[in-house]
Amino acid sequence: MSEGDGPKRGFRLEVDPEQVEETVRELRRRVQETFRAGATTRVRLSFKGQRIGPDIPLAVFLAGEGVAFWLLSPLPALLINLGARAVLDVELVDEAEELVSEGVQHYLDGDLERAERCYRRALRKRPEDPSALYNLGVLLAVSGRTEEARAMYRAAAMGPEGHPDVARASEALGRL
C-alpha cells in the first residue's frame, strides 16, 4: 500500500488589515496559478497551525472573487482583534489524495470494503490517479480478484514517469 506521494500545494500569505482588497486579489491570483498546475478541489486556510473555518470549495472561491474567503472564514474578526499583520497559510487541497490516504488507513485497519469505496471515490474525482489505481489494485489482488487487479495495475503503470506508484504498479504486474 502506498499513500499519495504528491506534494502538498500551498503557500504563505501575509495579510495586512489595512490592505484587505489587495490581499484578497493576491490570494485569488495565487490560488488560480496553483489550481492550473494541479488537481486542487478546495482551499484550506490556517493561522498559526489552526484551521480557520471549513475548507472552501475551489469553484466557490474562484467564482466569488474571494468573497467566499471572507464569508466562510473568521479571518476578518481575527484581523480586527489582532490589529496587525498576520501570516496566513493557504493549502490547496486535492480531495483525491485525501481519499487515497483515507483508503490506505481503512486498508491497514482491515476494513477492505471502506478502503475500496475510498479508492473508487478518488478515481471518480481523478480517473487516472496512479495512487488510487495502484492501491485499488493491491486491495483487489489480496481479495483474490486478480483480473480486476491486473487492470488497475495496467492503468496505474501508464501514469506519469517518476511517480512512485507507477513504478510499483509495473512491478506488481510482473508478479501477477
Q: Which of residues 38, 67, 93 is at a domain's end?
A: 93
pLDDT (tens, 9 = 90+) of the chain, 176 residues, equals: 654 444 346 666 676 666 666 766 776 677 666 666 556 667 777 777 777 777 767 666 666 555 555 555 555 555 555 555 667 677 777 778 889 999 999 999 999 999 999 999 999 888 889 999 999 999 999 999 999 999 999 999 999 888 899 999 999 999 98
Residues 30 and 86 in one domain: yes
CA angle 110, 113, 117 (to 5 degrees): 125
Burial annotation 31-65 (CB, 10 A radius, 16+ → b, else e): beebbeeebbbbbbbebeeeebeebbbbeebbeee
119 and 171 in a common domain: yes
**pLDDT value, residue 61:** 64
Same domain? 24 vs 42 = yes
Whole-model pTM above 0.85?
Answer: no
Number of structural domains the chain divides into: 2
Q: Which three cell numbers stand for residue 141?
A: 489482488
Q: What whole-number distance in Å separates Cα of residue 61 and Cα of residue 72? A: 10
| 124 shares a domain with 65 | no
Residues with Cβ within 8 Å of 147's Cβ and at least 6 positions away in sequence, in order, are: none
Please classify residue 169 by burial: count the beta carbons closer than 10 Å to its beta carbon, then call 0-12 exposed, 13-18 middle and 19+ buried.
buried
